[in-house]
Amino acid sequence: MNLRRLRAVFRKECLHIVRDPISLTLALLLPLLMILLFGYALTLDVDRIPTFVYDQDKTPESRELIDQFRGSRYFQIRGVVDNYRPAEQAIDRSAVLMTLAVDKNYSKDLLAGKEANVQLLLDGSDSNTASIALGYAQAVVATYALQKRSDAQVRLGGGQLKTPVEPRIRVWYNSDLKSKNFIVPGLIAVTLMIIASLLTSLTIAREWENGTMEQLLSTPLRPIEMVLGKLMAYFALGITDMIVCLLAAVFVFQVPLRGNVWFLFFTCCVFLFGTLSWGLFISASCRTQLLAYQMGMLSSFLPGYLLSGFLYSIGNMPKVIQVVSYLVPARYFIKIINAVFLKGIGFGALYVEVLLLAVYAGIVFLASVRKMRLKVA
């Protein structure tokens, strides 16, 4: 490999980038816009659930129960109804997600130590949100009922009611259970995968369309020199995008960065090298920019979002899809970046994922070099 020829290809590609200000601006601003847009829009937190109340009991005990829901940050009481019909209509219009209906004998049964009935009507069209809301509501009802039974037993002179098991919960790494602390680091991985693939997927295809590939073929340039020279130019651009995304995660979204910054930077570079090489492989395989763009988007956007564990748990997927997900590099990088951000662990615990990323980057780079043939087919 000749360093002079390599430097010439690198300089030529840098000039292409600089002389196309629109593409350069998009390449620099698009990652920031994506992480800001999706970082604020995507959330797995379920709170301020719009709720109607149907209180048939209308006693101090039922009002105290309703106050428990009103004081919880997970529920937002939108109104009180006096029959089921307005509640059903509101759920049909998606005006509320849940209706709390208190039985007319609620306080009587509760104070007598019997089973007190509370009905929860939920909109199950969004099953995930409905199941989370149901869990919150059941916890509020159970806690309040236990407290009232304990107070009643004290009044009867039987001593305070104690639960046989007292759970003491400690949440590590993300104590506030904020979904953005998980989503934003994963979003960095998906964004870099998409942007890097698209940046390089058009380079060689553009040479064929513009007719400049024949000029390159007339030079003593080798395939590895062409691939590596182009890769170096877009790698510098990708590093800039990566730094912008990391700064946005830490300073805009306030995601705690507990791990080693240099280890995170190293793994980002390995991941970026592999995704840029994949874009070059696509570009070398396609003769038109349109086809290269479509293939780059199809092979980066869908796997990055669906098969990387970013939004959907891989363990819940069918076995065949789980096997396919092993071919998606974002799967390993998302695990690395989340662990570095939230857990503060390093190479000792993540060496398998780092090695798999390095192997992927090496294989794809060699495949792109092999695909590049310095002759007109």
Please report how many Cα atoms fall inside a 13 Å half-sphere around the Cα of residue 152, on the Cβ side.
15
Same domain? 338 vs 204: yes
> Are 246 and 359 found together in one domain?
yes
In the listed set 123, 155, 187, which residue is the last one of a domain according to the structure? 155
Residue 160 in any domain: the answer is no
**CA of residue 80 relative to chain centroid, distance:** 37
123 occurs within a structural domain:
yes
What average pLDDT does the segment 176-185 reach?
81
Q: Based on the domain organization, do 114 and 22 belong to the same domain?
A: no
Same domain, 197 and 329: yes
Domain-terminating residue out of 90, 124, 155: 155
**CATH code: domain of residue 98:** 3.40.1710.10
Do residues 119 and 255 both lie within one domain? no
268 within domain boundaries = yes
User: Domain for residue 228, yes or no?
Assistant: yes
User: Would residue 284 count as lying in a domain?
Assistant: yes
Q: Tens digit of pLDDT for each residue in 240-250? A: 888 988 999 88
8 Å CB contact between 294 and 311: no
The total of structural domains in the chain comes to: 2
Average pLDDT over residues 162-167: 57
Domain membership flag for residue 125 = yes
pLDDT (tens digit per residue) in 208-220: 777 777 677 677 7
Domain check: are 17 and 63 in the same one?
Answer: no
Residue 120 lies in a domain: yes
Lowest mean per-residue pLDDT among 47-56, 99-108, 292-301, 327-336: 292-301
**Helices vs strands, H then E, count in the chain:** 15, 4
One domain for residues 341 and 200 = yes
Contacts for 201 with CB less than 8 Å, ≥ 6 apart: 279, 280, 282, 283, 286, 292, 293, 295, 296
One domain, residues 307 and 367: yes
Same domain, 350 and 262: yes
- For position 165, what pLDDT does the model report? 58
Task: Please indicate, yes or no, whether the overall pTM of this predicted structure exceeds 0.85.
Answer: no
**Same structural domain for residues 193 and 336?**
yes
Angstrom distance (rounded) from CA 148 to CA 215: 85
User: Are 260 and 367 within one domain?
Assistant: yes
Residues 328 and 282 in one domain: yes
Mean pLDDT for the chain? 82
Instruction: Show which of 95, 124, 155 is a domain's final residue.
Output: 155
Judge whether 166 lies within some domain.
no
Q: Which residues pair with 52 in a beta bridge?
A: 79, 99
Domain span at residue 137?
49-155
